[in-house]
């Protein structure tokens, strides 16, 4: 009988540091390599901070390790689609979505009543993507 994957859920009102700590614990239980841990923590930071900054706060968070992937799920109350902003020397920021989709090649948005969930999947068996 196959065991269910490990999932960590963090209460609403959490911050980026709490999300990273929870993700780190799940990955440690599965022996995820350090380079991938760093990438996952970057994805967690970007998605959680965007939910807090642009989407009215976090409504859900989970990290799963199963089937050769680390999957990060971040939910918020906004139905607004994440998008790439053109780089501008006059406007700070705007690189988060690009970073997420570069580090997590399989990233998609699931819209639902009350907002959206961003699901970012990072394979555990491949080399680091090149950032361009």
Task: Give tens-digit pLDDT for 32-59.
Answer: 999 999 999 999 999 999 999 888 889 9
Helix/strand/coil for 115: strand
Average pLDDT over residues 98-119: 94
| 86-102 tens-digit pLDDT | 777 777 667 889 999 99
pTM for the model? 0.83
- Mean per-residue pLDDT over the chain, rounded: 85
Residue 18 sits at the vertex; the CA angle it makes with 127 and 49, to the nearest 5 degrees, is: 70
CA dihedral 109, 20, 39, 42 (to 10 degrees): 70
- CATH topology for 6-123? Heat Shock Protein 90 (3.30.565)
């Amino acid at each position: 009988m196959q065991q269910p994957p490990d999932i960590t859920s963090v209460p609403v009102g959490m911050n980026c540091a709490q999300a990273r700590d929870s993700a780190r614990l799940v990955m440690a239980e599965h022996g995820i390599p350090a380079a991938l841990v760093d990438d996952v923590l970057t994805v967690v930071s970007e998605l959680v901070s965007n939910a807090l900054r642009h989407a009215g706060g976090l409504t859900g968070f989970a990290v799963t390790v199963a089937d050769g992937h680390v999957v990060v799920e971040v939910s918020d109350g906004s139905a607004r689609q994440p998008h790439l902003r053109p780089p501008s020397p006059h406007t700070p920021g705007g690189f988060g979505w690009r970073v997420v989709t570069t580090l997590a090649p399989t990233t998609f948005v699931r819209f639902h009543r009350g907002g959206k969930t961003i699901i970012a999947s990072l394979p555990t068996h491949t080399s680091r993507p090149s950032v361009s």
